[in-house]
Structure 1
Amino acid sequence: MSFDYDLFVIGGGSGGVRAARVAAQEGAKVALAEEDRYGGTCVIRGCVPKKLMVFASEYAGMVEDARAYGWDIQPGAFNWETFRGKLHAELDRLEGVYRNILKNNGVESFDQRAKLADAHTVELADGTRKTAKHILIATGGWPSVPEFPGSELAVTSNEMFTLDKLPESLLIVGGGYIACEFAGIMNGLGVETTQYYRGAQILRGFDDEARGLISEEMCQAGIDVHLGTNVLEMRQDGDKIRVKSTNGQERLFDKVMYATGRNPNADNLGLEEIGVERGRKGEIVVDEYSQTSVPSVYAIGDVTDRVALTPVAIREAMAFVETVFKGNPTSPDHELIPTAIFTQPEMGTIGLSEEEAGEREPIEVYATSFKPMQQAFAGRAQRVLMKLIVSKETRKVLGCHIVAPAAGEMIQLAGIAVKMGATKEDFDRTVAVHPTMSEELVTLKTPVRSR
């Protein structure tokens, strides 16, 4: 049977665009459909604009530091309109880059929603049908807000990049990395920021000592963090939102942002009708080669709810092309993924937390916490943490956790060593680079505790 295309990709984010480009470079005839903007969550409403906002929010502290170093600089006011204009221009530029990647590689693109009509047929929003030997779903995820009285008044991270003006007061509900990153950003931009999280400590799933330090520093920076607290109801009160919460308080905020989870974007795609299996959260169930229960249909990225990180979606895309178009069955490697959380202070992490490792085997914990030279000299008191989790038996470094300025940059490099299976002695044999913060990772002599 002849098909219109060898591959039809639904979704123009990082994973979908990468799969389309690389398959086309292998000589496949490829089409891609995207109903919104090209670039997906990461480029349009995620990592890229968020990181630019983190940068913007950090300059307030730098002015203070510069004065302590002898620079005669006066603090000014932050102009949201100026920044937002430049931000949107940059996102437009990046979207153009993504469109050109497809065009330059001969991928035909359709700017509309697509869904599956059968195992080899895609139906576009305008009713056109296209057939393909293989179909790849890369439709990502979407923020979800729980249902409660007044929940429709909440915004999500999606709307934070397009605000007309900065609110004077903001409540952020949630304790994951998106909630904590936005708390740091908004606080840094001068917004009076409150955070409610129903759990006992923010950043669940990360190393306890590291998240404890981040929580403390967020409070020190002026974020009003309430743990063990959830919203009961919200209602409009003039131009503000009145929020009633489980801690017995009723407070007024200009805006309320929910960051309490994301759901896979897999509804109304025609999956159930053709027999594609979905999981408990609505994710598309795939095997180790990203293949669904319908052999011609594959799925990658956040819609599969494996590891919801941009570089992972790209890895899955590459493995998919190896498997389907190069005849080299390749399973994406989800073990030991380094990652960064752009909270303030920033965190970089790879491998097991102290708690996870201690439950698996006897371990030693090497850690140090100190005030970095640059900030200490300026009189700022943000502490940093360098921490290694080591197996007593194999001496392998099972986890590395860094809370410090530029922790993301450090963990990328430490991640190579941990991924290679480096032992504590490999770290010890490496000469320190002085004076740096990261040298502490190779000079940790005695364990602070064993488990």
Structure 2
Amino acid sequence: MDFDYDLFVIGGGSGGVRAARLTAAGGQKVAMAEEFRMGGTCVIRGCVPKKLMVFASQYAAAADEAGKYGWDIKLGKFDWKSFQAKLKAELSRLEGIYTRNADAAGVEILHQRATVKDAHTVTLADGTEKTAKHILVAVGGTPFVPEQTPGIEHAITSNEIFDIPELPKKILIVGGGYIACEFACIFNGLGSEVTQVYRGAQILRGFDDEARGHIAELISGQGINLHVGTDIERLEKRKDGIWTKTTDGREATFDVVLYATGRKPATAGLGLENAGVELGRHGEIKVDAYSQTNIPSIFAVGDVTDRIQLTPVAIREAMAFHETVFKGNPMTPDHSNVPSAIFTQPEYGAVGLTEEQAREEGPVEIYTAAFRPMQNSFIDKNERVMFKLIVCQTTRKVLGCHIIAPHAGEMIQLAGVAVKMGATKEDFDATVAVHPTMAEEIVLMKTPTRVHN
């Protein structure tokens, strides 16, 4: 059978673009459909604009600290509209790069929605049908909101937060995951009065318990009104803003209510069920180790598979897909010891196991240090950083590394190499400290804080 394309990719995010570029550059005929903007969640509505907002939000605290160090600094108000204009220009620039790179590799880009009709056919929004030997679904995820909450239509998600017309004086953030915590810190830094509500017992579920507690203390100390163990009962649009009532009886009014209550795979209406593709109970596409679905010609990578929801992981999955399908070199993406960073203020970087996970696997030693770094102690700032290593008692390998500190994301990238290589605690100990730095603590912790046999 003759096909229109060797590969048809649905979704123009990081994973889809990487797979399409590699395959087209190898001489195959490739098309890609993207219904919104090239670049996907990370570039357009996620990592990139969020990190730029993080940068913007840090300057007020930096100016305050500069004054305590002796600088004569007078800080005015934050100009949201000026920042927003520059942000939109930057995202358009990046979108252009994604489009040009795919186009230069020979990818045919179709700027419309595509759905799956059967194992080798996709249907475009204009009704056109295209056939392909292989179909790759890389549509990512979308924010989840509890639709049963009365008044939920008055709330926004991370998709809309970058386009709000004014910086809110008061903002409510609902959720306890990394997106909620990051935006709580961002708006607090920009000068908004921030309330964060989470129905669980502690924020950042799934991360290391000690680190979760440390971050909760830090953000509360920065003035974020953090309330756990409660949820939103209902919302109402009133003259002076959005009135809210929580399940524990508190009532308040906010300019903006942001729901950051998790993300779900964006498979709704994609036609996958009709094509026979097996989905999980959250709508995720079920794939094997090679990113192949139960339909041999259909593959999926990235957040839509709900494996590890990180852009670099989607790219690795896309590269492995290309090697497997088009180069005859079967390759599985390695999902072990993936470093990650949460851009709270300060940041939280992690790689490997949490203390709780490691205890389930065998005897471990825990090394922890929490202290005021030199930059803080000089101006009597009470904010503490935390360094933590989780070590296997038998192999002496470092199973997990957790850092809460300014620039922890930069540190964990480098620490991640050592953990990935299987470095032992003695390897860390044998490394000479770089003094004076915060990071030197990671090679100076000699005595276990706790031992779990």
Amino acid in the other structure paired with 2:116: L
Aligned to 2:376: 375
Equivalent position SS for 1:183: helix
Note the alpha carbon deviations across 1:34-55, whole angstroms, 9 max, x for none: 0001100000000000000000
Correspondence for 1:164? 165
3-state SS in 2 of match to 1:93? helix
Cα displacement (A) at 1:359: 2.2
Partners of 1:219 and 1:350 in 2: how far apart?
Answer: 25
Residue in structure 2 matched with residue 227 of structure 1 by the alignment: 228
Instruction: Letter of the 1:382 partner, please give it.
Output: E
Q: Output aligned runs, 1:47-446, within 5 Å.
A: 47-146=47-146, 147-446=148-447
SS at match of 1:374: helix
Separation in 2, partners of 1:101, 1:59: 34
- Matched residue count: 451
Query: Contact conserved, 2:14 with 2:42, CA < 8 A, in 1?
Result: yes
Distance, in Å, in 1 between the alignment partners of 2:88 and 2:399 is: 41
Amino acid at match of 1:190: G
AA in 1 matched with 2:124: L
Q: CA deviation at 1:239?
A: 3.8
- Per-residue deviation, 1:375: 2.2
Contact kept in structure 1, 2:30 and 2:107, CA below 8 Å: yes
Indicate conservation of the 8 Å contact 2:233/2:246, yes or no: yes
SS in 2 for 1:225: strand
Q: Using the alignment, how far apart are the partners of 1:426 and 1:7 within structure 2? A: 46
Q: Counterpart of 2:426 in 1: which secondary structure?
A: helix
Deviation above 4 Å: which 4+ runs of structure 1? Answer: none
Aligned partners of 2:306, 2:158: CA distance in 1, in Å? 19
Corresponding letter in the other structure for 2:242: I
Q: Deviations over 1:317-340 (max 9, x none)?
A: 000000000001111111110000
TM-score by length of 2: 0.99
For residue 2 of structure 1, report the CA deviation from its aligned partner: 1.4
Aligned-residue Cα RMSD (Å) equals 0.8
CA offset digits 1:370-412 (Å, max 9, x no partner): 1111122233221000100001111010100000000000000
Instruction: Please report how far the alpha carbon of residue 236 of structure 1 lies from its aligned counterpart in structure 2 after TM superposition.
Output: 1.2
Give the letter for the 1:228 counterpart: G
- Of the structure 1 ranges 23-32 and 416-425, higher mean CA displacement relative to structure 2 is found in 23-32
2:277, 2:294 within 8 Å by CA — same for their partners in 1?
A: yes
Read off the aligned partner of 2:89 and give its amino acid letter.
Answer: A
C-alpha separation between the residues in 1 aligned to 2:118 and 2:249?
A: 53
Matched letter for residue 164 of structure 2? L
Query: For structure 1, which runs of at least 5 residues remain unmatched after alignment?
Result: none
- CA contact under 8 A between 2:120 and 2:133: conserved in structure 1? yes
Q: Give the partner amino acid of 2:100.
A: N
1:171-220 per-residue CA deviation (whole Å, 9 max, x = no partner) reads 10100000000000000000100000011110011111111111101011
Match of 2:274, SS state, is: helix
Question: Aligned partners of 1:117 and 1:389: how far apart in 2?
Answer: 48
Distance 2:230 2:346 in 1: 23
Shift of 1:57: 0.3
SS in 2 for 1:217: helix
Q: Amino acid of the residue matched to residue 427 of structure 1?
A: F
Between the two proteins, what is the percent identity of the paired residues?
Answer: 65
Offset of residue 167 of structure 1? 1.1
Q: Deviations over 1:222-271 (max 9, x none)?
A: 00000101011111121411111112111111111111111101111111
Q: Is the 8 A contact 2:240 2:253 kept in 1?
A: no
Give TM-score, length-normalised by structure 1: 0.99
Q: Distance in 2 between matches of 1:385 and 1:220?
A: 16
2:322 aligned counterpart, secondary structure: helix
